[in-house]
């Protein structure tokens, strides 16, 4: 049976991280000429507008999965105007990258706080690491909770960024492909993706199957940057 307190921390971090991810999409689209998500209230760090759009993906499914397995599984989305994306495929591609970029900022912020904890003697590199458990503490009590929270923030946002950057529809990495193409080729790519209705489900299935093998070296590489000279496997 999962630890309820740990499961709730995972859920809260998921909620905040996903909110920032979708707000970044919405804000970037607004700045680049598409105010669809802005008018829907998604340019906000308040989770409520995002929950209103995807209550199953942001509350029901992740809460149930976190309490049942200890790990939240969910989804979210920000609306955009397909006509704007067709007219400006490279702007739409930048919008796609904004979500993972926001998650990477949270990875960096949590890494800075963990390093500050190490520098002040509050945290130290543990003998063994696992997802979410990245720092040992010199004191018991609330400091252990802070170390775990920062470890979850680092781990989950690294996972969200890496998963969404896979170049498979409907993930953000697929949406970013037009940055590598001419404007006209970008439009044709978008149109091809939109025409193939089943490609999104196939892309998610493929990403889910491949991600474990892909993420492990990314995770270990990121932790090696967090603790230079310490080697985990």
Active site residue 22: yes
How large is the C-alpha radius of gyration of the chain? 19
Angstrom distances, CA of residue 140 to CA of 2, 25, 98, 126, 137: 21, 39, 38, 14, 7
CA distances from 38 to 44, 95, 99, 227 (A): 9, 13, 15, 40
**Structure tokens of 71?**
């790990």
Q: Burial-class residue 212 by CB neighbours within 10 Å (0-12, 13-18, 19+).
A: exposed
Half-sphere exposure of residue 2: CA atoms within 13 angstroms, side-chain side: 18
Active site residues: 22
């Amino acid at each position: 049976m999962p630890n309820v307190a740990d499961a709730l921390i995972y859920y809260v971090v998921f909620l905040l991280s996903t909110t920032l991810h979708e707000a970044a999409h919405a804000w970037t689209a607004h700045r680049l000429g598409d105010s669809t998500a802005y008018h829907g209230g998604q340019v906000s760090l308040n989770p409520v507008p995002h929950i209103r759009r995807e209550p199953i993906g942001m509350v029901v499914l992740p809460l149930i999965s976190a309490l049942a397995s200890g790990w939240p599984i969910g989804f979210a989305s920000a609306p955009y105007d397909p006509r704007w994306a067709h007219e400006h495929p490279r702007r739409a591609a930048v919008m796609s990258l904004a979500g993972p970029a926001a998650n990477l900022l949270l990875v960096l912020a949590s890494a800075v706080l963990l390093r500050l904890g190490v520098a002040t003697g509050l945290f130290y590199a543990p003998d063994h690491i696992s997802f979410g458990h990245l720092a040992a503490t010199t004191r018991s009590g609330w400091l252990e909770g802070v170390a775990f929270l920062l470890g979850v923030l680092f781990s989950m946002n690294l996972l969200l960024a890496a998963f969404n950057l896979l170049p498979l529809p409907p993930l953000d990495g697929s949406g970013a492909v037009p940055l590598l193409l001419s404007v006209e080729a970008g439009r044709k790519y978008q149109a091809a993706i939109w025409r193939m209705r089943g490609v999104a489900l196939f892309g998610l299935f493929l990403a889910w199957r491949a991600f474990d093998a892909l993420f492990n070296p990314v995770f270990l590489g990121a932790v090696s940057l967090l603790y230079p000279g310490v080697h985990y496997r």
